[in-house]
Amino acid sequence: MSKTSFPSKAGVLIVGAGPAGSIAAYELARLGIDVTIIDKAKFPRGKTCAGGVNIRTLHLLPFDLSSIVEEVITGISFTQNLEEPFLRRYPEPLTVTVRRDIFDHFLVQQAQQAGAHFFDGTQFLSLLEKNESVQVETSYGTFLARFVLGADGSNSAAAFILPLRRKRGPIQKGRCLLLGGAAGLINPFTGEGLYSAIRSAQIAARVLAQTLKDEGQSLPAYQEAVDRELMPHLECSRLFREIFNLRPSFFHQKIARSDRWWNAMAQVLRGEKTFLDVKNKLGFLGTLLLQFAK
Of the candidates 113, 138, 170, 197, the one whose C-alpha atom is nearest the C-alpha of residue 10 is 138
Instruction: State the pLDDT at residue 235.
Output: 87
Q: Nearest 5°: phi and psi at 198? A: -70, -40
The pLDDT of residue 75 is: 93
Please name the amino acid found at residue 28.
L
How far is Cα 161 from Cα 62, in angstroms, rounded to an integer?
A: 29
> What is residue 96's predicted lDDT score, i.e. its pLDDT?
94
Pick from 227, 241, 236, 152: nearest CA to 197:
152
Residues 16, 41: Cα–Cα separation, whole Å: 9
Within 8 A by CB and 6+ apart from 144, the residues are 8, 9, 10, 133, 134, 135, 136
Q: β-pairing, 134-138 with 124-129?
A: antiparallel
Instruction: Count CA within 13 A, CB hemisphere, residue 280.
Output: 7
Output the tens digit of pLDDT for each of the chain's 294 residues: 555 577 788 889 999 999 999 999 999 999 999 999 999 999 888 877 768 898 989 999 999 999 999 999 999 999 888 888 999 999 999 999 999 999 999 999 999 999 999 999 999 999 998 888 899 998 888 889 999 999 987 655 557 444 567 778 888 988 999 999 999 998 888 888 899 999 999 999 999 999 888 766 688 999 999 999 999 889 888 888 888 888 888 888 999 999 999 998 899 888 888 888 877 776 655 565 556 555
Element (H, E) at 127: strand 124-129
Rounded Cα distance, 49 and 121, in Å: 20
Total-model pTM: 0.89
Q: What pLDDT does 162 receive?
A: 43
What pLDDT does residue 206 have? 94
What domains sit in the chain, N to C, each tagged with a CATH number? Answer: 3-51+99-229 (3.50.50.60)
